[in-house]
Structure 1
């Protein structure tokens, strides 16, 4: 019960990494605010997630609002305070990656990616941090960045800068928020099987290649991120801030 009596906000929590993190946080005793896009297609999954969290003996509430909207962070914080009285952990997980070549990248694709992945994250982190400062007892902020913050991708020229931006945001926020006892860290997943890359990994040859590039011999699962998120959220990481943790099965260090 590493997160007992804590309230955790997670964006992009209706599926994938966010959903796995929400469930593990609840298993560790936390009440959870589920941020999701607000789309009707996501609602049934969100309702099922709430039921599953409640079955674990914890509270859950959902806030449907686009991650790229600057007001969404305020809505998430308001829900957390209204239902649970506090914000102890904020996990910025929401993100998109519509693969596209660089030279003919539509402006709307670029702008949507940057707004969803980085601009919305900035304002949401700011909202959570201000609430933590008001509470006066610190907190933990975790951004799900990517191995793509460190390496490039020919079909990801709009995506990789946003993930590098999240990593940099956590480093700077660690300095800015350290005096208030707020820890800020980044997770850098490798190739994790989620909806964001489902179409890309449908190519069996590419799928096999990506698995072969990983020393552990398999692609990642959303659950592989849940443990590291709980660790960084918990008091076990009380002296960890400004850090970046690769969760990639060893892909980044595999040069051959």
Structure 2
């Protein structure tokens, strides 16, 4: 029960890495605020997740809000405090990656990606940090960055800067928020089988290539990310801040 008596906000929590993270945080005793886009599909997925959490005695609520909106962070914090009384862990997971070539990148695709992956999260981190400061007991902020923060991608020229940016934000926030006992770290997943890249991995040759490039010889699963997030959220990582944890099966270091 590494997160007992901690309130955890997880953005983009109804699918993929976010869902696995919300589940594991609840299993570890955390009171979880599940966030989603707010449409009918999001509500349905959130309610299904809450029912699963309740089967093992966990506590969770859900909040619909656009991750790209600067005011979303305040909304999430207010809901967490109203129901659970605190914000102790904030996991910024929500993100999009609409693959597109660089030379004809539409402005609307670029701006939606930047706002969803970086602008909205910036102000959400700010809202969570201010609540943690008010509480006076520290906290943990974790950004789901990506191996793409470290490498390029021809169809990801709008995406990779956001993942580098959210990692850089955690580094700077670690300095800015350290005096308040607030730790800020990023997790960098490698090739994880989620909705965000299912079309890419539907190509058998591409999927096999990524598996062969990975020393552990498989694609990652969302659950592979949830454990490291729980560690960084917990008091076991009480002296870890400003760090980046690659969770990629060894993909990044394999140059062969």
TM-score over 0.5 for the alignment?
A: yes
The unaligned stretches of length 5 or more in structure 2 are none
List, as ranges, runs of 4+ consecutive aligned residues in structure 1 with deviation greater than 2 Å.
Answer: none
Match of 1:119 in 2: 119
Match of 2:254 in 1: 254
Q: Does residue 180 of the first structure (1) align with residue 180 of the second (2)?
A: yes
Equivalent in the alignment of 1:131: 131
| Partner SS state of residue 216, structure 1 | coil
**What's the Cα RMSD here?**
0.6
SS of structure 1 residue aligned to 2:119: helix
C-alpha deviation, 1:41, in angstroms: 1.7
Q: Which residue of 1 is the match for residue 56 of structure 2?
A: 56
**Counterpart position of 1:156:** 156
Residues of 1 paired with 2:159 and 2:151: CA distance?
11
Cα deviation 1:22-73 (Å, max 9, x = unaligned): 0000110011000111121222211110111122222111111110000111
TM-score (structure 1 length as normaliser): 0.99
Partner of 2:194: 194
The separation in 2 between residues aligned to 1:190 and 1:205, in whole angstroms, is: 18
SS in 1 for 2:95: coil
1:215 aligned onto 2:210: no
Number of aligned residue pairs: give it.
256
Distance 2:39 2:92 in 1: 19
Q: For 2:33, what is the secondary structure of its paired residue?
A: strand
Q: Which residue number in structure 1 is paired with residue 65 of structure 2?
A: 65
Long gaps (5+) in structure 1: none
The C-alpha deviation readout for 1:99-144, integer Å capped at 9, x for no partner, is 0000000000000000000001100000000000000000000000
Distance 1:121 1:42 in 2: 19
**Secondary structure in 1 aligned to 2:252?**
helix
